Structure 1
Amino acid sequence: MSLPLTRVRRHNTHRLIQSKYSPREDSVLALIANNGDHLAHIFDFDNATNDRLLAEHQLLPGISAQELVAEVPYASVVNAAYTHARPEGSRFNGPDRGAWYAAFDVRTSQAEVAFHKSVALAEISRFVDNVTYDDYLADFNSDFHDLRSASEKQDCLDPNSYVASQTLALELLESGSHGILYASVRRPKGICVCCFRPALITNVRKGPTYQFIWDGMPTPTITRL
C-alpha cells in the first residue's frame, strides 16, 4: 500500500455517542419486566439480537471475539463501535465490521455528528430534534496510514460517496493496517482517525455531555451541559 505511515501519539481524541447508548448499571429493559422470570426472558430475547454479544460468541462475520476488548473501562462502548456497523457502512468500513471514529478536537466531532444527524432529519423534511451526546475521550499511540497528503486518494474523501473509501479501507484492513488518519470532510482543518483495531484504543473515559437542538434549521445549536 502506497499510503505513508504516521505515528499518532495523541491524548484526548473525541468520539461523540448519543447518551441513550451510554452504559448503565441497570438495563432499561428492567423497567418493562414485572418479575425476575419475565426479565430473564426479555434479556434472552435482547441478547439474541445484540450484535456485540453475537460477536463475543463468534457469530458475526466481520470481527472475531479475540479482537474485542474486555476488562477495561468502557469495553462495551469500544466493542459496540465494531459490532454495530450501519447497514450501508461508513466512510472507512462496510456493513459487516464497524470502526472507531474520533477527532483530534471536539468541534470536529460535533461537526461530523451534526452533519449526519441533519441528513437524517432532511429525509423526513423536519429539522426538529433534541439529542444529547456523550464525549468519549481516548488516547492513541500507534502507526496509522496517512491519507492527508495522498493526492491520488482524495476520492476517498468524497463528501457524497463512500465507494472509494470503503474499497481502500478493506484493502488496508486485510493487509494488517491499524487504521487511517485523514482530514475531516465536514470541518476545514479538522483531523480525524479511523481505528480498525479495538485494542489500540486506550484510556477510554467519558467527558462532557453536549445537547444538540434542531429548531427548524439544518444547523443545530450545541450546548455543553
Structure 2
Amino acid sequence: MIPSKYSAGGDSVLLRIADDDAHFHELAELEGATNDRLLAETGLLLGIGLHELVFAVPYARIVNAAFCHAHPLGSRFNGPDRGAWYAAFATETAQAEVAFHRSADYAEIGRFEDSVTYDDYLADFSADLHDLRNAPDFAPSLAPDSYVASQGLAEALLAARSLGVVYPSVRDASGTCLACFRPALVNNVRKGETFRFTWAGEPEPRIEIERP
C-alpha cells in the first residue's frame, strides 16, 4: 500500500505552485535533479543500477519508486541506499503494517489527527525467496523495535544475490509478508482498492474503503 498522492496518473504537485508552463518546466527540471527514481532511471543513483529497473510495463513508475526512494534510516530488510518491494499476503496485514508505521510518526509529535488515503497495489511473485518463517535462528531480524539485525541480514543476502525474503508480519500476529529485492520479480502489478485511514485522537485508525 502506498499513499494515494504517489499513484501513477496523478497531477504533479508542481502544477499547484507554477505560475505558467515555463515556470512548471523549470520546476520539473529542478525536481528531476533531486528525484532518486529519475536519477536511477538515468543511471545516476548508486544504490541500484539502471539495468535492474523495469520499463514499459504497467505501473513501472510505482515499482521503480519502491526501490529508489528508500527511507533515510532504511526499513526492515533494506538500508537507506536501496529500497525493496514490501507486500503482505492479506489486505488486513498490509493495513496493520501501514497503520503501525503511520501511528509511530504521529506518536513523535503527540498528535493522532489525520485522514489519509492509501492505494492497494497487487502483484504476483514466482521466485525462490529465503523463508524466515519457523526459523528461530533469525528471530533477531523480526524484532519489533530494531532493524539492526534485519538490515544486516538483508545486506548479506543481497550480496549473495538473494531475490528476497518471506517472513511473519511483526505487526499482525497471523500475517505473512515478503520483501522482494529485485524489481523485475514484481510481476502483473495492478491497482486494487483505495482505503482511507482516519486518526481521531487515538493511535488506532479507522480504516474504510474509499468510494469514488
> TM-score, normalised on structure 1?
0.91
What is the CA-CA distance between 1:141 and the residue it aligns to?
0.8
What is the CA-CA distance between 1:83 and the residue it aligns to?
0.5
- One of 21, 24, 35 as aligned partner of 2:6: 21
Letter of the aligned partner of 2:79 in structure 1?
Answer: G
Within a 5 Å distance, the mapping from 1:149-164 to structure 2 comes to 149-164=134-149
Structure 2 match to 1:77 = 62
Equivalenced residue count is: 210
Within a 5 Å distance, the mapping from 1:1-225 to structure 2 comes to 16-24=1-9, 26-225=11-210
Letter of the aligned partner of 1:107 in structure 2?
Answer: E
Question: Mind listing any 5+ residue stretches in structure 2 that lack a counterpart?
Answer: none
Structure 2 match to 1:13 = none
What is the CA-CA distance between 1:133 and the residue it aligns to?
0.3
Structure 2 match to 1:6 = none
> TM-score, normalised on structure 2?
0.97
1:193-217 CA-partner distances (Å, limit 9, x unpaired): 0000000000101110000000000
Letter of the aligned partner of 2:98 in structure 1?
Answer: V
Range 18-27 or range 214-223, more displaced: 18-27
What is the CA-CA distance between 1:183 and the residue it aligns to?
0.2
By relative contact order (CA 8 Å, sep 6+), the higher-ranking structure is: 1
**Counterpart of 2:161 in 1: which secondary structure?**
coil
> How far apart in 2 are the matches of 1:99 and 1:128?
29
> How far apart in 1 are the matches of 2:10 and 2:72?
29
What is the CA-CA distance between 1:109 and the residue it aligns to?
0.1
What is the CA-CA distance between 1:25 and the residue it aligns to?
5.6
1:140-190 CA-partner distances (Å, limit 9, x unpaired): 111100001211111000000000000000000010100000000000120
**Counterpart of 1:176 in 2: which secondary structure?**
coil
**Counterpart of 2:128 in 1: which secondary structure?**
strand
| Percent of residue pairs bearing the same amino acid type | 59
> How far apart in 1 are the matches of 2:68 and 2:78?
11
- Structure 1 stretches of at least 4 aligned residues deviating more than 2 Å after TM superposition: 25-28, 30-36
